[in-house]
Each structure stands twice: as structure tokens, then as C-alpha cells.
Amino acid sequence: MTNSRRNFIKSAIGVSTGILTVNHLLGAERSIYVWPPMRYSQSPRIRFSVIGINHGHINGQVNTVIRGGGELVAFYAKEDDLAATFSKSFPQAKRVGTEAEILEDRSIQLVVSAAIPCERAPLGVRVMKHEKDFMVDKPGITSLSQLAEVRKIQQKTGRIFSILYGRLESMSLLKAGELVKAGAIGKVVQTIGKGPHRVSPESRPAWFFDKKLFGGILCDLATHQFDQFLFYTGSTSGKILASQVGNVNYQQYRDFEDFGDAMVQGNNGSGYIRVDWFTPDGLNTWGDGRMTILGTDGYIEIRSNIDIGGRTGSNHLFLVDHKGTQYVDCNRVELPYGRLLVDDIINRTETAMKQAHCFLATELTLKAQKQAIKMP
């Protein structure tokens, strides 16, 4: 490794810009801590509203935009119980009586949504036709026909259709991207993404178990891993080699799927993805999500939610290369997506996420779902 490359990687890890402690454990594991991220300005730069609050992810979405410089002014929801809860979290937002009141308000620049999944893409089309940008929870699109329509309208209007993939709000996944870009593990060969979840059926609405409404398990959950595969490999095209889905343990819900996996090949690497609804109650988080990035000179493993090996908290990253093993605590990494999305809305740029990347991650997900073999 050249000195310039080694220094670049050191900088990416944090060696030259904020390590608090580095413990050398006889050549075993080194602990690396990063300085706090830059703070965001709280001065509003855009006005935005919400349509559809059927998933709890809406709270995180709203906070992301507020953190980036958005002012939440209004929301529309058909469900009184959901609206009451949302109003307690965001009392500054006025509840309006119709969707049209938001769509026809020219002062609103962005609409954010966590509606029932099958309703998200059609809503996004209406939003873009009203000359507004759209940020939506995953899955933002539940069928290939919806994707074709969204692509057509997005290209025609030039508006932003952004899906909030988990990577965009994950400190550990973003830090891994910095390390990959710095060449810490050489050329990326393969990603392995695992997304286990706890189902907690008693807390789920009826639409959660209806495949026509949520799109299937790969469509619903694996969008994150397909996005990560493209991001880490740098692939700009891909094809599904194999995929399968099944309902192994929840036969009382005939239209539900609790397991799915897929193999994908890109023009710059390959990936394996597995998602499920089998997180046991003994785990103190909703899922032991992991991403392994294999490179020609090492590998990275991210344990996003929990380290069952004993470390507390989340955002754990392990880097293994020819010199040893490093542990990177990522809990103070900047999350720039909200700020960059607001920048893009103001400047008509693509800094938060390329539109082509957003659509390709969804396209691969939908093709994996459609092509999936049914498990016995």
C-alpha cells in the first residue's frame, strides 16, 4: 500500500481528524472513536408537509427533513387515531381536511409520506404533477408497472422522487462507504446483507399481512440491502440470478411472507441478500441487521443495531485488513441526507442520492420479488 493511500484511509477512519482513544490490544482489536459531526442549522429553508402516516417511520422521516432545514407546516391523514398521535409529536403541523389542500399550496415544496405501501407511488405521481418533490418511506414502489409510471412522470416533471433507504440514516453504513471509497479493503467483490425483523403481529395493522398492499417481503424489506449492494460495489446495472420467498411460520396469514433471499449480479460486483421476520423475543432490539463487504484486501462487517458479542449500543463496524482488525464506533458520524435533500430541492441538484440509483435499487428489488420461487 502506498503512503498516500494509507494516509487517505487513516483520514477516513478518523485517525487524523478526531480519535479520542486508540487501544492496541497486542495486535488484536483496536478501538477507534470519532469526533462529533458538524451541527445542522435549524433555520427553515423550505416548507414541507406530510400525506399518509400509516407507518411509524414517518416520525424519523419528518425529523430528518427538519434537521436538514425543513419547516413542517401541515399534514393529511384519513385515520383519526394516527392523526392524534402524529399531532402530539409534531404540534406545529396543521391537520388539513383533504390531500388537495397540500398539493395545491404553492408554498409547499416537499411532500413526505409513509402511507400504505401500495399507495405510495401513485401519491408520488400526484405530488410530482403538482410541481413538488417527494420523499417516501420504503418500499416507495410496489410493482414494476408503478415504477414505469413514476419514472415517466419524474423525467417529465424533473421533480425529486426520493426513497429513504436505511443506509441514508445509518452512521455505520455511511462510515463503511467512506472506508470503501478510501480503498480500505481494495476492490469490492461482494456484499452480504441480512435484514432480520421481529414481527410482533399483535401490533401490526391488517395491511401489513396482505401482499397486495405491502408488495411482498423482498419488496418491503430488501430494498435496503439492494441499495447497499449498489452503493458499495459502485454498480450501475444489475440482474437477479435467483430469489425465493416463503411463509414458513405464519400460516394464519395466507397473504404474508416471512422469509426471502436473493442473489444479484452487478456490473461491478455481486451480492447476496436475506430478510426475514424471525427475530426472537430474547434479542433486545427489533433485528440483528448486518452487512458484510468483501474486498480484495480485506472486509468490513457492520452490525447496525446490536453487537451480540457484548458491546452496548448500535452502529458497530469492524474492519479487517492485512495489518489486523479494527473496531470503529460510528455513533458520531454525520447524517447528511436531510441537509442534502433540502439543498437539492433548493438548487435542483442530485447530491442526496442520484435519481437513477434510487430507481435501480427499487427495480432490482421488484424483479427479485416477481421472479422469486415459492418455498415449499
For 298-356, the pLDDT digits (tens) are 999 999 999 988 889 999 999 999 999 999 999 999 999 999 999 999 999 999 999 99
Percent of the chain with pLDDT over 70: 89
Residue 374: name the closest of 260, 265, 272, 285 by CA: 260
pLDDT of residue 18: 32
C-alpha 187: how far from chain center? 23
Q: 257 is written with which cell numbers?
A: 411472507
Burial of 128 (0-12, 13-18, 19+ CB in 10 A): buried
Percent of the chain with pLDDT over 90: 87
Mean pLDDT of the chain: 91
Residue 10's pLDDT band, with cuts at 50, 70 and 90, is low
CA distance 88 to 92: 9
For 253-284, the pLDDT digits (tens) are 999 999 999 999 999 999 999 999 999 999 99
CA distance 336 to 347: 16
Looking at residues 22-34, what average pLDDT do you find? 33
Q: 176 is written with which cell numbers?
A: 463503511
- For residue 132, the tally of other CB atoms under 10 A from its CB is 23
Whole-structure pTM value: 0.90
Asked, as a colleague might, if the bond just before 376 is cis with ω within 30 of 0, I would say no
Three-class secondary structure of residue 56 per DSSP: coil
H-helix or E-strand spanning residue 288? none
For 191-214, the pLDDT digits (tens) are 999 999 999 999 999 999 999 999
Place of cell 421476520: 277
Q: 189 is written with which cell numbers?
A: 467483490
For 144-180, the pLDDT digits (tens) are 999 999 999 999 999 999 999 999 999 999 999 999 9
Q: Which domains does the chain have, with CATH numbers?
A: 3-34+171-336+369-374 (3.30.360.10), 46-163 (3.40.50.720)
pLDDT of residue 26: 26
H-helix or E-strand spanning residue 255? none
